[in-house]
Amino acid sequence: MRPFHLAFTVHNLAVARAFYGELLGCPEGRSAETWVDFDLYSHQIVAHLDPDKTLAEVHNPVDGHDVPVPHFGVVLEMGPWEALAERLTAASVHFLIEPHVRFKGQPGEQATLFFLDPSGNALEFKAFGSDAALFAT
């Protein structure tokens, strides 16, 4: 599978560098005065500066939780997902949806967690027992 590319807006690049680079451990790539590339688990995400950024708060119900829309993230293997959940918990990150397993015993059972970056972008990281469950119906 090839890496994906996602560009998104942030209020402050220094804060984005601390959040994505230090907290999430994303190596920094190229940058300019108004944007910075990060390596998010081998995928290219680009934070673009927009000091006036506003987000609409939209949520959809999924397995008993209000899932924020839009959101982005990565499907990890279970070990790295657990390590990330522990690192975020230890850093006192406020979770919109706490780390848990949803769709228990159903097709698509997955470990998931949701939180916001400092600019209000919603992120989801998830893991499946098997990659075959990713698109299970």
Residues 77 and 128 in one domain: yes
**Can you give the pLDDT at residue 101?**
96
Summarize pLDDT for 57-116 with one digit per residue, the tens.
Answer: 899 999 899 999 999 999 999 999 999 999 999 999 999 999 999 999 999 999 999 999
What is the predicted pLDDT for the residue at 87? 97
**The pairing of beta strand 5-10 with beta strand 95-102:** unpaired
> Quick count: other Cβ atoms within 10 Å of Cβ 126?
19
Pair (67, 31) in one structural domain: no
Last residue of a domain, one of 49, 69, 85: 49
Contact (CB, 8 A) for 45 and 2: no
| DSSP character at residue 11 | S
User: Does 56 have pLDDT greater than 90?
Assistant: no
Among 27-36, 50-59, 100-109, which range has the highest average pLDDT?
Answer: 27-36
Domain count of the fold of the chain:
2
In this structure, the answer to whether residues 21 and 85 fall within a common structural domain is no
Q: Report the first-to-last Cα separation within the chain, whole angstroms.
A: 22
Its domain, for residue 9, covers 5-49
pTM exceeding the 0.75 threshold for the entire prediction: yes
Q: What is the CATH number of the domain that holds 126?
A: 3.10.180.10
